[in-house]
Amino acid sequence: MALSPEALQSWWMPFTANRYFKAHPRLIVEAQGAYYTLADGRRVFDCLSGMWCTPLGHAHPGVVQAVQRQVQKLDFSPTFQIGHPDAFELAARIAALAGREQDRVFFVNSGSEAVDTALKVAIAYHRARGEATRTRLIGRERAYHGVGLGGLSVGGIGANRKMFTSLMPSGIDHLPHTYSPRDMAFTRGQPDWGKHLADELERLVALHDASTIAAVIVEPVQGSTGVIVPPRGYLERLREICTRHGILLIFDEVITGLGRLGRPFAAQYFGVRPDLITFAKAITNGVVPMGGVLVSADIYEAFMTGPPHAIEFFHGHTYSGHPLAVAAAHASLDALTGEGLIERAAALAPLLERAAHGLRGEPHVIDIRNIGLTAAVELAPYTGQPGVVALQVFERALSEGLLVRYAGDVIELAPPFISTEQQIESMIEALRRCLRAVPAA
């Protein structure tokens, strides 16, 4: 099934080179398990689990049936001043999975909304406690926190930010990113170099004074800019500094949440307890949009003042806690926990590490990184043409039976947790053939 140029005209596609795409359309028409089917009938292995969304693989029967049942039973329900039982149960389940039973969950519909919600909670929390001067937010270079104005502001990708400076609030600062190829290229797992970069937070505290700073937000592993793995001790050190200065620490776990590192949340993997955790994507296996923020009980309690009939937090979305998303999330959690898939991700991680690092020495490859069930292969860019070598690998990979995703010149890999060992090995061997086939600059 090919669409005419006219048929492709109207959709202004997100984060896409629209003119290139419409000249070279690539259409997905079906998905089952770890594979997509393209419009020309080819089956391709889903190397990035959708966009980090589908650890269970596509069309998981439990999720499909749960959504089908739910749409017949309760298709929509308002959630302002009224609720539906399954959403309360889901919130408790997520908190328990994170090992934070007392915490509260605020539901939204995407990662971007989760981030903006977390930032608003942080600022409003300090104000509720009488520290209204704590409004400054600190993000990090190379961070991706979605496209809301809060997430853009604390994010650290120049191309995303440059058009919108006028819309960004003042009072935002950034920590340096932790990627240094000279000090960590080809590291397996967490690099030993770089913990000291957390001390940059002390510098920002000295510059602005802790009394002006509300929160620090970081992705525990920077996903969208190419699987940047935190140096050993770095997140722990950030936690210490935040605690010492009364600054909230937010982990943006939109990618790492729900098992990608082989533990339910990266916070558990690293043994660091942030005050807030954002999640999205895998919570519903990507089937219905949903995101959320896990909020420490003491933060929630700080809002619970004033007359009991008064709204405590003026924030929410029409679709917060949407019944279809809630049903998909319950079924996804049933599968993740009931089928032992988080443990499976942990068990497959060493295999992915070994296989991915086996690409060292192949043409174009200048770094390989990995943690949990994710890895990245960084390629030397063609001179003056960033992104083109990765685009060529992407195109070539389609004919090798792989759907890879690339960010800049980094090929990112995050296969579904249901993948077999053989599928992971085949994915890497197919990628090897692509690297060899793509011409030198």
Contact positions toward ligand PLP, by CB under 6 A? 110-112, 115, 144-146, 219, 223-224, 252, 254-255, 280
Distance separating alpha carbons of residues 216 and 20, to the nearest angstrom: 38
Cβ-proximal residues to 235 (8 Å cutoff; 6+ apart), any chain: 198, 218, 220, 270, 272
- Which residue's CB is nearer to ligand PLP, number 145 or number 239? 145
Q: How far is the CB of 384 from ligand PLP (least distance, A)?
A: 28
- Which residue's CB is nearer to ligand PLP, number 282 or number 435? 282
Distance separating alpha carbons of residues 338 and 345, to the nearest angstrom: 14
Indicate the residue type of 357: H
Beta bridge partners of 35: 32, 45
Q: How far is the CB of 387 from ligand PLP (least distance, A)?
A: 18
- Rg for the chain (alpha carbons), in Å? 22
Q: How far is the CB of 190 from ligand PLP (least distance, A)?
A: 18
Q: Token digits for 140?
A: 């990090």
Q: How far is the CB of 43 from ligand PLP (least distance, A)?
A: 25
Distance separating alpha carbons of residues 151 and 112, to the nearest angstrom: 6
Q: How far is the CB of 254 from ligand PLP (least distance, A)?
A: 4
How many helices (H) and strands (E) in the chain? 16, 15
- Which residue's CB is nearer to ligand PLP, number 266 or number 377? 266
SS3 410: strand
Distance separating alpha carbons of residues 417 and 339, to the nearest angstrom: 10
Closest-by-Cβ residue to ligand PLP is 111
Longest dimension (CA), the chain: 68
- Which residue's CB is nearer to ligand PLP, number 111 or number 264? 111
For residue 36, the 8-state DSSP code is E
- Which residue's CB is nearer to ligand PLP, number 111 or number 323? 111
End-to-end CA distance of the chain: 34
Q: How far is the CB of 53 from ligand PLP (least distance, A)?
A: 9
Q: How far is the CB of 324 from ligand PLP (least distance, A)?
A: 16
Angle in degrees, 0-180, between the axes of helices 341-357 and 421-437, rounded to the nearest 10: 30
- Which residue's CB is nearer to ligand PLP, number 146 or number 372? 146
- Which residue's CB is nearer to ligand PLP, number 112 or number 153? 112
Q: How far is the CB of 110 from ligand PLP (least distance, A)?
A: 4
- Which residue's CB is nearer to ligand PLP, number 23 or number 28? 28
Q: Following CA atoms 363, 367, 368, 371 in sequence, which dihedral angle do they give, to the nearest 10 degrees?
A: -170
- Note whether 44 and 398 are within 8 A (CB): yes
